[in-house]
């Protein structure tokens, strides 16, 4: 029975120095016993004090409130105002259509955003499992949520770590911590004391909640549970990380506010001027209402939603799934992409790049686990000698993993079942022609010594194919194997009694290994020994006292994706910085960064330990200049994103682990991995890559820029209509015109039909061939630049003078007021059609584009003119909209005006961009 049942719970779970403290000190602090664990009384006390081992779920927002918030934006206010005005005017059908648009927009936003609240729940589920614990001197299985600080937990291969533990004892313990630290390979764990400033990823005496035991056994003391674990800290960071407003939503909100103020000012001005002219107050009020209706761009929210949705579909075809609509455009404004290394910039498949045998260094081509490649020597394909084959054979046979081949849609895929490093060794043997079945049959394994961290090697005992002797193959670190070797292996040794060779030189071997390690490669050594046939088992002592022939070295790396190299070049050409943030070693990360070309010079790199010493005020400048961040903690990832945002960057952040979730949420656009990503990271992200490939990010950026271009085209196209109509009503009041050239119902017709059948077709425009050759739009750049404002004013002048002038001209020629108004409506329809063609390219000539490249545009124009003819010539439309048929000469004058406006804008573009 534990003697410390009545202690005063002196445990301080916030100290977080367990990796630095001695085991005796931790046992004392936690009032526990390695021999008997906690007592039942202790457990009850601690459950009451510290609570259950679960992560507190974030309080969720009421679904109804989430839905109502979809209406809380200026653009929607304008639409609701528009619908209300239409209802006041008695146009219930128009009002119904406008309110329907508002509801559709709200439902789309609600469905998209309601998916983003599951991240904390996913975190809580990560901790739920059963675990073996020592209590009252007995080993029992309990739910992991019932663990308390001080519990003694026993783990073995395949177990999920249930809480943060300080290791008491271990045997060959290896743990996959990739979801927490980003480290791609399993980490060896053992009981030792570490420096106080040791980074999370390097704390080899600690086990963290939700990581997975891949090999061996271990026992540990629970030092933190629930919200106090490293996983719990990520949960809190995720809850407090701010979801960033996208550049688009910021600009649309600013633009909508400005538009709202202008509409109100113009409506008030119209009312005041009308009263001063002595006009009837009801007529003046209706004129002010008409101006409000005219100035409201009813089609803008629908256009934004539809354009973004089209972008979503295009991105999906390029392996990028968008979870939040505005994220489409954010990608186009991105200035920095912070990318993980493993699996995103690299293949996530360890690959042997070099084989070193007896002073000869061969290069092995091919990447990943696909068994296709050749041996290269001095730039030429070469045949391997017997000694090199024996080195590769050792890697194949001294191995417990398998390469699995799968066929999907006639394509072959290979993946490793087991350790990635062993998978690389199997593949290297396959590439040079070694057949696994034949080798296993010829060299039957009869015993083995698994890899142990204290020994740093693995050994297997085989019956030789000639059945005359047994062979031992060794695989491990150079420091563990080299002292065991006395010779280099050469073919003549096989028939020699003394196996004596003068070539063996440990210093040359060490130098070769160091040279490859400096290149960021992981180097393994191989050796071979012989025993008589009656030797049927081997022990560690046999290996430590034996004499072996040194076979050679195999150096491997997780190679960069070829498509990632191209994508990084494309991003840099587009003015986008790419930074690598990884849990891997700095040497390996820097080598990969250099290969994929993150910068023109040697990439500047910094480690998490160095990052921890940098002051907060200095971090933004350093973060901007640095290309590689290695061995960083989750908190540091979040700080880096915030630091870059302080420099006014639009930051895209990729990630796949639980540790990435807070940074994904904080980033302007979070990008999660679809294949390797955890549910937590996917729920926190704005976009999910279905192929985990950096090249898909570059493709998404390209599509994002296209989406933004098309939105700008629509806004540039639609504003002159609203401005022109508003000015027509305003001038009619100012100049005391007896009858308005445009009635409110006719204004609604123009706004609704042109937005749907003309403006929305711009959403289908193809991207420019030079879209990735220009710099990102600066975040502070307004939606409408001075150039676009100039064009909007010019087209508005054409619309105002044309509609007023031709309206008065029709009356002068004796036309009815209805026919004159129909001509004024025609001016807006036809001139806007001509301007639509101008807007297909904001910088290039219309004549440089293929007219049929946007078939929706041609269809929209045909439908629009069919409707307009019905508007003018059908009696029922004449009655509904107060119109009348017009003459061919009237059409001719309208078309001439439209042609003049079209040529003017094309000439302006030619003058401005001719260079």
Active site amino acids? 340
Output the 3-class SS for 548-604: EEEEEEEEEECCECHHHHHHHHHHHHCCCEEEEEECCCHHHHHHHHHHHCCCCCCCC
Q: Which residue in 656, 680, 682 sits closest to 346, CA to CA?
A: 656
Between CA 616 and CA 710 the distance in angstroms is 39
Pair 351, 557: CB distance under 8 Å: yes
Between CA 845 and CA 843 the distance in angstroms is 7
Tokens of 232: 């719990």
Beta carbons within 10 angstroms of residue 291's beta carbon: 28
Between CA 99 and CA 111 the distance in angstroms is 18
CA end-to-end distance (rounded Å), the chain: 88
Query: From residue 555, how far is each of 172, 258, 420, 558, 631 by CA, in Å?
Result: 23, 62, 13, 11, 22
Between CA 280 and CA 902 the distance in angstroms is 40
Report the DSSP beta bridge partners of residue 527. Answer: 474, 550
Pair 474, 526: CB distance under 8 Å: yes
Pair 164, 230: CB distance under 8 Å: yes
Between CA 653 and CA 697 the distance in angstroms is 10
Pair 680, 126: CB distance under 8 Å: yes
Between CA 633 and CA 607 the distance in angstroms is 10
Q: Which residue in 178, 142, 176 sits closest to 161, CA to CA?
A: 176
Between CA 636 and CA 660 the distance in angstroms is 10
Q: Is 216 left (phi over 0), alpha (psi -120 to 50) or beta?
A: left
Between CA 645 and CA 333 the distance in angstroms is 13
The helix or strand, by DSSP H or E, that contains position 219, with its residue range, turns out to be strand 212-224
- Per-position DSSP letters for 131-179, written without gaps between them: EEEEETTEEEEEEGGG--TT-EEEEETTPBP-SEEEEEEEEEEEEE-HH
Q: Which residue in 284, 434, 455 sits closest to 364, CA to CA?
A: 434
Between CA 825 and CA 868 the distance in angstroms is 9
Helix (H, G, I), strand (E, B) or coil at 14: coil
Contacts of 887 (CB under 8 A, 6+ apart): 815
Q: Which residue in 663, 680, 664, 671 sits closest to 701, CA to CA?
A: 671
Pair 490, 484: CB distance under 8 Å: no
Contacts of 288 (CB under 8 A, 6+ apart): 267, 268, 270, 271, 274
Between CA 581 and CA 692 the distance in angstroms is 15
Tokens of 392: 């590769």
Pair 138, 182: CB distance under 8 Å: no
Contacts of 338 (CB under 8 A, 6+ apart): 579, 580, 581, 637, 640, 641, 644, 651, 652, 653, 654, 663, 667
């Amino acid at each position: 029975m534990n003697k410390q049942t009545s202690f005063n719970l002196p445990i301080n779970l916030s100290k977080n120095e367990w990796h630095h403290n001695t085991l005796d000190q931790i046992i004392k602090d936690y009032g526990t016993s390695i021999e008997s664990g906690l007592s039942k009384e202790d457990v009850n006390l601690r459950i009451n004090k510290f609570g259950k081992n679960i992560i507190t779920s974030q309080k969720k927002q009421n679904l109804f409130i989430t839905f109502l918030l979809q209406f809380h934006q200026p653009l929607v206010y304008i639409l609701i105002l528009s619908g209300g005005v239409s209802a006041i005017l008695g146009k219930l059908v128009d009002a119904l259509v406008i309110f329907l648009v508002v509801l559709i927009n709200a439902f789309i936003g609600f469905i998209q955003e309601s998916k983003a609240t599951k991240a904390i729940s996913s975190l809580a589920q990560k901790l739920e499992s059963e675990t073996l614990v020592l209590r009252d001197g007995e080993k029992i299985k309990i739910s992991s949520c019932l663990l308390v600080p001080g519990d003694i937990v026993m783990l073995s291969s395949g177990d999920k770590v249930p809480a943060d533990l300080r290791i008491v004892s271990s045997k060959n313990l290896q743990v996959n911590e990739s979801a927490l630290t980003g480290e791609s390979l399993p980490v060896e764990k053992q009981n030792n004391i570490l420096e106080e400033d040791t980074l999370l990823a390097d704390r080899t005496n600690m086990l963290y909640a939700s990581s997975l035991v891949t090999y061996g056994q271990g026992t540990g003391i629970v030092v933190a549970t629930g919200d106090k674990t490293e996983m719990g800290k990520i949960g809190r960071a995720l809850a407090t990380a701010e979801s960033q407003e996208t550049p688009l939503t910021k600009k649309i909100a600013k633009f909508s506010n400005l538009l709202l103020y202008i509409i109100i000012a113009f409506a008030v001005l119209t009312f005041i001027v009308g009263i001063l002219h002595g006009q009837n107050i009801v007529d003046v009020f209706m004129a002010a209402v008409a101006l409000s209706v005219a100035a409201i761009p009813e089609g803008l929210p629908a256009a934004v939603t539809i354009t973004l949705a089209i972008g979503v579909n295009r991105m999906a075809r390029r392996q990028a799934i968008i979870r939040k609509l505005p994220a489409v455009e954010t990608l186009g404004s991105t200035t920095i992409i912070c990318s993980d290394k493993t699996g995103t910039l690299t293949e996530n498949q360890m690959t042997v790049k070099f084989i070193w045998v007896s002073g000869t260094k061969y290069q092995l081509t091919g990447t990943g686990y696909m068994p296709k490649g050749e041996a290269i020597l001095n730039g030429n394909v070469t045949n391997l000698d017997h000694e090199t084959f024996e080195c590769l054979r050792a890697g194949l046979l001294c191995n417990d993993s398998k390469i699995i081949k799968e066929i999907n849609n006639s394509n072959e895929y290979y993946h490793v079942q087991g350790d990635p490093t062993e998978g690389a060794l199997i593949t290297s043997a396959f590439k040079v022609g070694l057949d696994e079945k034949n080798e296993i049959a010829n060299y039957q394994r009869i015993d083995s010594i698994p890899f142990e961290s204290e020994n740093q090697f693995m050994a297997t005992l085989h019956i030789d194919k000639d059945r005359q002797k047994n062979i031992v193959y060794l695989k491990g670190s150079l420091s563990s194997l080299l002292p065991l070797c006395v010779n280099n292996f050469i073919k003549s040794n096989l028939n020699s009694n003394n196996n004596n060779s003068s070539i063996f030189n440990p210093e040359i071997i060490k130098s070769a290994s160091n040279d490859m390690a400096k290149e960021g490669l992981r180097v393994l050594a191989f050796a071979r020994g012989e025993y008589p046939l009656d030797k049927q088992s081997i022990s560690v002592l046999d290996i430590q006292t034996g004499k072996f022939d040194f076979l050679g070295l195999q150096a491997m790396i997780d190679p960069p994706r070829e498509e990632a190299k191209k994508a990084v070049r494309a991003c840099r050409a587009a003015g986008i910085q790419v930074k690598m943030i990884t849990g891997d070693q700095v040497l390996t990360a820097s080598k990969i960064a250099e290969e994929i070309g993150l910068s023109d010079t040697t990439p500047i790199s910094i480690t998490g330990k160095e990052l921890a010493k940098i002051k907060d005020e200095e971090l933004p400048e350093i973060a901007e200049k640095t290309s590689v961040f290695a061995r960083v903690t989750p908190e540091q990832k979040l700080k880096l994103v915030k630091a870059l945002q302080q420099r006014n960057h639009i930051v895209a952040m990729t990630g796949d682990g639980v540790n990435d979730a807070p940074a994904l949420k904080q980033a302007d656009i979070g990008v999660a991995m679809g294949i390797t990503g955890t549910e937590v990271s996917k729920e926190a992200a704005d976009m999910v890559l279905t192929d985990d490939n950096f090249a898909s990010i570059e493709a998404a950026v390209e599509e994002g820029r296209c989406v933004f271009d098309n939105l700008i085209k629509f806004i540039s196209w639609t504003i002159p209509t609203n401005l022109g109509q508003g000015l027509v009503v305003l001038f009619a009041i100012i100049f005391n015109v007896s009858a308005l050239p445009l009635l409110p119902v006719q204004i609604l017709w123009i706004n609704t039909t042109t937005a749907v059948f003309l403006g929305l077709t711009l959403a289908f425009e193809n991207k420019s061939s030079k879209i990735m050759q220009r710099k990102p739009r600066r975040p502070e750049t307004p939606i409408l630049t001075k150039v676009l404002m100039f064009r909007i004013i010019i087209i508005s002048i054409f619309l105002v003078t044309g509609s007023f002038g031709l309206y008065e001209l029709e009356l002068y020629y004796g036309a009815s007021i209805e026919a004159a108004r129909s001509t004024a409506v025609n001016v807006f329809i036809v001139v806007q059609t001509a301007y639509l063609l101008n807007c297909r390219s904001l910088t290039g000539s219309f004549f440089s584009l293929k007219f049929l490249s946007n078939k929706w545009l041609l269809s929209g124009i045909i439908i629009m003119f069919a409707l307009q003819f019905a508007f003018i010539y059908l009696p029922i439309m004449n009655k509904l909209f107060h119109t009348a048929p017009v003459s061919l000469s009237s059409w001719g004058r309208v078309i001439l005006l439209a042609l003049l406006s079209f040529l003017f804008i094309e000439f302006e573009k030619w003058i401005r961009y001719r260079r």
